[in-house]
Each structure stands twice: as structure tokens, then as C-alpha cells.
Structure 1
Amino acid sequence: MEYIYRPKGVCSMQIKFEIDHNNVVKNIRFTGGCNGNLQGVSKLANGKKAEEIITLLEGINCGGKGTSCPDQLARALREAIG
């Protein structure tokens, strides 16, 4: 199933991803933000279980904002898997 998430407090404007029935995340795409870094995050997270990605990325802070694009991906995944 494909999900679309609207991040809050970061440069990225949208995160799209797919999750299969085993909670494996694929095809992560960020719109906006630091393109090179977000391509790296996407490639590293692709094919991993949502719970593993959440554990790795949740709480990462960018520039004192209290969140980051990786943290927003973790929040989006948490919301998607309930």
C-alpha cells in the first residue's frame, strides 16, 4: 500500500512510501529538502522493516528544530503501521 505523509517543521514537503503486508518499506521518495541526503536515507531504509527504520531514525534533530526529515519519516511510518 502507498502512503503519503506531509512532514512538519522541516524543508521536505512530502514523503511517499510503500509498505507491504510484512511491514517492509519500499520506494521511499521525499519531495523537497536536502536532495542528496534524502536519497541516501531512502536507499539505506529501502527494504527494511518499518519498526527497524523507526528505531534508527526517530528523534534525529536538525538545526535545533526538534525534528528532521529522517525523524519525520519515522513518524510517518509509525502512523502508517498504527
Structure 2
Amino acid sequence: MQVFKTSGVCAREIRFKINDAKIIEKVKFIGGCSGNQSAIAALAEGQTIEHVANKLAGIECRNGTSCPDQLSKALKDLL
């Protein structure tokens, strides 16, 4: 699994696994609100990196970012 250290959100990091076809196989947030993060992970898994990164980019919660936005940044780093 790859690890992305978050910034400006309750979750400390995001762990994710991407396959060779650039499909998200697994997402796990460490820290933060488990209900919302479980929903984000469930919706992202099985989708392409590009699709999820574009859909979640710019969603704000506080500090000008959010857990979905941080996942988007992590995925965009792979593109």
C-alpha cells in the first residue's frame, strides 16, 4: 500500500492500493471520522485514479481542504 501524509484535516494519513490498470483497489484513512471516510473509500474503490481525483478535488471542510480533497491530491501525485 502507498501512504500519503495529509495536511489540514483530522485524518493523519491515507493508505491506498492501485493496480496496474490504475484502478483503486483499497483506500484506508488513518484517524478522523470513520463514517465519512468509510463512505469515501467505498465509493472510490473500483474506480480509476483520474475519475476519483477529478471528482473529489476542491471539496472543502475546513482549512481550505477536506479528507476527499486530500485523497484527490494523493491520487493526482500518481498521475
Both proteins in one fold, TM over 0.5: yes
Runs of 4+ in structure 1 off by over 3 angstroms are: none
Task: Report Cα offsets for 1:5-57 as digits up to 9, x if no partner.
Answer: 00011100010001111110111000011110000000011010000001110
Structure 2: unaligned runs, 5 residues or longer? none
Give the alignment's TM-score, normalised by structure 1.
Answer: 0.92
Find the counterpart in structure 2 of residue 16 from structure 1.
15
Structure 1: unaligned runs, 5 residues or longer? none
Equivalenced residue count is 79
SS of the residue 1:56 aligns to: helix
Cα RMSD, aligned residues only = 0.8
> Hey, what's the Cα distance between the residues in 2 that align with 1:80 and 1:33?
24
Identity of paired residues, percent? 38
